Structure 1
Amino acid sequence: MPAPTEVVDDVYDITTREEPRDKRYRVFFSTKATPTLVDTGLQDTTEAVLDGIVDVGVEPERVIITHDHGDHVGGFDAVVERYDPETWVPEKTSLETDHTPDHLYGDQIGRFTAVHVPGHTKHNHALIDEDAGVAIMGDTVFGADHRGLPTGYFHHLPAVYSDDPRAAAF
């Protein structure tokens, strides 16, 4: 896997797997104030997540999960076992993990505002740090690289990825 990429000051994209047609799986790691890992990747990409953290050179003190799909929570237990960070999971979300989250969140996590964005899942959240100009979208939208569009474009998730039955009508 490529080395972590600093996307803005002290915020890193850790790509955990790349597939044909420019599809990437990744997590984001902010080293500002409280070092925070957002999502933990697929279970079979855990080593890539852990290696990326080592490459950045800062240990996470907090893990925030945006929603409960496997590509966001698969490495949860491994990260908790390695680093023992404080963990945050959306309210009303149940994880099938060996470790119980420390906190269930609604609106605020440290400097992040957690914005409830249902549609992809009932408990999907985006994380906004307005002062830093950072928005971590989870699966609120997909990046252009997922569909081969030019860099800088985003698109809504196709209905096939949604657990909301109303999405099929769009």
Structure 2
Amino acid sequence: MVRELSPGVWQFELRGVNAYLIEDDGGPTLVDAGTPRDADDIRTGLAEAGYEPGDVGRVLLTHYDLDHVGGLAGLTPELDAPVYAHRLDAELLTGERSPPLTNHKGALQRLLGLFVTRPPLEIEHVEDGDEVGPFTAYHTPGHSPGHVVFVSEDHGAAVLGDLVAGGDGELEPSGWLMSYDTAAVAASIRDLAERAPEFELACVGHGEPLTTGGSDALAALAARL
């Protein structure tokens, strides 16, 4: 399912995970890319928004997980845009490092990584505070070491990846099973709530995005932790 959450911000509801398309002057930005089975659904979503994979100007990855990076390879060769991710997770996608077997989430990533095809795309590293087009990157480790939230003040939107999940108009933190470190998740949520500008749209990787009051919901969650 594809829906426009606000002018220029599209949600692609894929197989149990969300990806987003956000329009800007440099061409539309794709944020995350679903599972390997989602590439055709992303193509359909792009078409409904009036685009093709070749129109995408950049790809932002919130983190390395099968259900967030798996669809990239299936969108090539039409998709030919730089991919931005934090170094700690980018190196997992490029194969420069392997997820650690000493962490339960790392072991799961190592297993599911067998189903990830490395995309033939340029991978750029982003650090905390970097600006990529209209987006500011916030390093938010915990769900994964290189997890990043991308905030666009122009759109009043934060793409929160799997730092939190959405439901019933509220946000909840990433749980133990799918996180490297839940204490780091909580610390990242509190830090993001303190540093990020106000935003209405809370674009979550799993569950329902919040279309209003996103930063208020994040602050409320931070206060509960």
Structure with more strand by fraction: 1
- Inter-partner Cα distance in structure 1 for 2:164 and 2:65: 15
Deviations 1:43-100 (A, max 9, x none): 1121111111111112311111110001110011122422212221212322051424
Contact persistence 1:89–1:101 (CA under 8 A): no
- Inter-partner Cα distance in structure 1 for 2:179 and 2:39: 24
- Cα shift at 1:166: 5.3
Aligned residue among 9, 22, 30 for 1:30 = 22
Correspondence for 2:154: 131
- Cα shift at 1:113: 0.5
1:104 aligns with 2:125: yes
Structural mapping, 1:29-108, within 5 Å:
29-34=21-26, 35-58=28-51, 59-93=55-89, 94=91, 95-96=93-94, 97-106=118-127, 107-108=130-131
Aligned residue among 149, 159, 163 for 2:180 = 163
Q: The residue matched to 1:143 in structure 2 has which SS?
A: strand
- Inter-partner Cα distance in structure 2 for 1:143 and 1:123: 21
Runs of 4+ in 1 over 3 A off after TM superposition: none
Aligned residue among 10, 25, 28 for 1:12 = 10
| Unaligned stretches of 5+ residues in structure 1 | 18-23, 145-149
Structure with more helix by fraction: 2
Contact persistence 2:81–2:121 (CA under 8 A): no
Q: Which amino acid aligns with 1:103?
A: E
Q: The residue matched to 1:120 in structure 2 has which SS?
A: coil
- Inter-partner Cα distance in structure 2 for 1:48 and 1:100: 20
Between 1:66-75 and 1:43-52, the stretch displaced more is 43-52
Q: The residue matched to 1:53 in structure 2 has which SS?
A: helix
Higher-Rg member (1/2): 2
Contact persistence 2:151–2:158 (CA under 8 A): yes
- Inter-partner Cα distance in structure 2 for 1:157 and 1:116: 15
Q: The residue matched to 2:17 in structure 1 has which SS?
A: strand
Aligned residue among 142, 146, 149 for 2:165 = 142
Correspondence for 1:154: 171
Q: The residue matched to 1:155 in structure 2 has which SS?
A: strand
